[in-house]
Amino acid sequence: MQKIGVFVCWCGSNIAATVDVQAVSDTLAKEPGVVYATNYQYMCSESGQNLIKDAIKQYGLTGVVICSCSPRMHEATFRKAVASVGLNPYMLEVANIREQCSWIHKDKALATEKAITLGRAAIAKVQLNAPLQAGESPVVKRALVIGGGIAGIQTALDIAEAGFEVDIVEKQPTIGGKMAQIDKTFPTLDCAACILTPKMVECSQNDKVHIYSYSEVTSVKGFVGNFTVSIKKKARYVAENKCTGCGECTTKCPMKNVPNEFNLGLDNRRAIYIPFAQAVPKVATIDPNYCNMLKNGKCGLCAKVCTAGAIDYKQQDQVIEERYGAIVVATGYNPIKLDKFEEFDYSLSKDVVTSLELERLMNAAGPTGGTLLRPSDGTHPHTIVFVQCVGSRDTSGCGKPYCSKICCMYTAKHAMLIREKYPDTEVYVFYIDVRTPGKNFDEFYRRAVEQYGVHYIKGMVGKVAPRADGKIMVQASDLLANEQLHIEADMVVLAAAIEPDKSARPLATMLTASMDTNDFFTEAHPKLRPVESPTAGIFLSGVCQGPKDIPETVSQASAAAAKVIGLLVTAKLTTNPCVAHCNELMCNGCSSCERVCPYGAITYVEKEFRMPDRTTQLRRVASVNPAVCQGCGACTVACPSGAMDLNGFSNSQIMAEVDAICQK
């Protein structure tokens, strides 16, 4: 029989105003096994904790029940307190009489009765509690960053700076991501490449950072501190260690009409290419979909001109396996496809472009050498219409229900840059709301209006129609003037919503990291743990967690790095002892538990059992890896024979709680 102490907290007036705490402690004192019961104003305070400690010592308590706030709030506090006087921390139970009782009820008599019932259930559970010991698991001192955009780069550099090895896996032939494609950055208007490329170079020169470019993660096994990851290095048909990046091959290749994805298809590249001048690693890649040699075995020109002898048409995909202690997801975003928005005629007119395409049209390394020209006929546009919220804040099913956050600012930037460079150009921005919270952001937007004379019009564009003479008719509403406008434009720029990269969803499955309905990774706590996934050892960096601009991405990237470093410096991790275990004698080998386990913690083993008649029998039984198990309990519910049980939440404990609640 346990000797149980019950401690009822007032939580100031949070509990005491709705629950008669004296009645609760008096009633619970009469429960079987309870040798001491009291109540106190703030049980979590130092004096409150001392009250518990003293009672444990004085009455030789073997179990403790605290009737207070949610265990999420203070379970750790109380466990630490009882452990300090030698009681096993898992001999403590918290009955939540605040969030699940006093906060949600008004009738004091009924709330008091409920609090007593909740306390009684906790007492019934403690009766069956057994001391548990937390185990330990080692930490591999190496981190993996998935995605080599600014988020991944910043995280990797910060982790490397702390002295840990870090690998970046990037699916493109170069790191740099979207920021490499952007021309200027708001609100300072400094050139994106000028601030990004030094960081890219730092990645390639830092001994601790290893870049797997043109590579993808194909499988993830293991758990926090000890992940095993398979990385597929796609064949680029060029030996990375031999190629000098001279670019000779990219000028000689006869396949000239390959859409250049770096310039979003606004110009062409060759079948062998280096995405852009400052690419890291600066190594050529052969596009197997266009290379004549790889498709038909005819050509071989690049191999002839390559003085380094780097071309290797026989190169194969390669799978590397590596172990990591922590994984950072930095998979980034893409603008959405606009084929559901026929009213904007994006697919019909070349002069209707997305904002990211405009970045390339204004960039000195872009298809027009930095001169803003209409893609259709190469003339200077004189009237440009910007449309905001194309597919953002859209609940009709065509777009995304969320605000893409970055569009207001980059549109102000585009409008301002165009008015600065081409003052003869009229610029209209149709907006629903201008959202510019951020340091120096609203000032930036106001500058576009006040200094640069950009016409901001409250209203939406309803129809864009290209005319035979090359002009684009834009029909829009001006809500403040209460009129419908018809503008003859030369170019229309659509601020397309952004969405998480398509690789994020399958990656989340591999990592068992949770996502929201929009495919953004979910954080462990929206306010207090914003860079961690609820899955231990997985961290989030950049837009994969939610729309954000460069400064925010960099802050989050460094925050994720700090969390990773915090994990990697730990010598050993304490594991949660509340894990599942299998009663092998009851297990019938059905695999139900293996199928429902979201962490891959359950495997099946063939095991010899001694039978009553002294024979042995080989049976297939479940085996739980306690280091991987997160104690979610899914297996205990799925198991048809009741063989699966969870430490600290055993089937018998839960039934005892139910019985205690049901008794009158």
Partner 1 sequence: MNNNLKEQVLRMSGVNPLKCMRCGKCSATCPSYDEMEYHPHQIVYMVEKGEIEKLMASPSIYKCLSCFACVERCPRDVEPAKLVEAIRLAVIRQQGQNHLKAKDIPDLIEADPDLPQQALVTAFRKYTK
Give the binding site for partner 1 (CB under 8 A).
Answer: 343, 389, 393-399, 432, 458-463, 475-477, 479, 482, 484
| CB neighbours of residue 127 within 10 Å | 18
Q: Which is nearer to partner 1, 322 or 394 (CB)?
A: 394
DSSP 100-130: IIITT---HHHHHHHHHHHHHHHHHHHHH--
> What's CA 174's distance to the chain center, in Å?
22
Any residues with CB less than 8 A from the CB of 337 and at least 6 apart, and which? none
Q: Which is nearer to partner 1, 476 or 508 (CB)?
A: 476
Q: Which is nearer to partner 1, 432 or 524 (CB)?
A: 432
Quote the CA–CA distance of 140 and 227 in Å, as a whole number: 8
Quote the CA–CA distance of 373 and 380 in Å, as a whole number: 5
CB 342 → partner 1: shortest distance, Å? 9
Quote the CA–CA distance of 390 and 404 in Å, as a whole number: 10
Q: Which is nearer to partner 1, 150 or 461 (CB)?
A: 461
CB 607 → partner 1: shortest distance, Å? 58
CB 392 → partner 1: shortest distance, Å? 8
Q: Which is nearer to partner 1, 389 or 507 (CB)?
A: 389
CB 395 → partner 1: shortest distance, Å? 5
Of the candidates 35, 43, 56, the residue with the CA atom closest to the CA atom of residue 14: 43
CB 482 → partner 1: shortest distance, Å? 7
DSSP 313-346: TT---EEEEEEESEEEE---EEEPP-TT-GGGTT
Q: Which is nearer to partner 1, 290 or 428 (CB)?
A: 428
CB 404 → partner 1: shortest distance, Å? 13
Quote the CA–CA distance of 47 and 311 in Å, as a whole number: 74
Q: Which is nearer to partner 1, 333 or 341 (CB)?
A: 341
CB 336 → partner 1: shortest distance, Å? 13
Q: Which is nearer to partner 1, 72 or 486 (CB)?
A: 486
Q: Which is nearer to partner 1, 297 or 397 (CB)?
A: 397
Any residues with CB less than 8 A from the CB of 41 and at least 6 apart, and which? 9, 10, 12, 16, 48
Give me the phi and psi of 156, to 5 degrees please. -60, -45
Any residues with CB less than 8 A from the CB of 410 and at least 6 apart, and which? 186, 355, 495
Quote the CA–CA distance of 357 and 375 in Å, as a whole number: 10
Quote the CA–CA distance of 309 and 230 in Å, as a whole number: 29
CB 480 → partner 1: shortest distance, Å? 10
* Gyration radius from the chain CA atoms: 31
CB 536 → partner 1: shortest distance, Å? 39
CB 346 → partner 1: shortest distance, Å? 14
Of the candidates 466, 461, 267, the residue with the CA atom closest to the CA atom of residue 357: 267
Q: Which is nearer to partner 1, 53 or 458 (CB)?
A: 458
Report helix, strand or coil for 7.
strand
CB 432 → partner 1: shortest distance, Å? 4
> What's CA 436's distance to the chain center, in Å?
24
Q: Which is nearer to partner 1, 459 or 547 (CB)?
A: 459
**Rounded to the nearest 5 degrees, what angle is found at the Cα of 634, between the Cα atoms of 632 and 638?**
160
* Lookup: tokens for 407: 């569009």
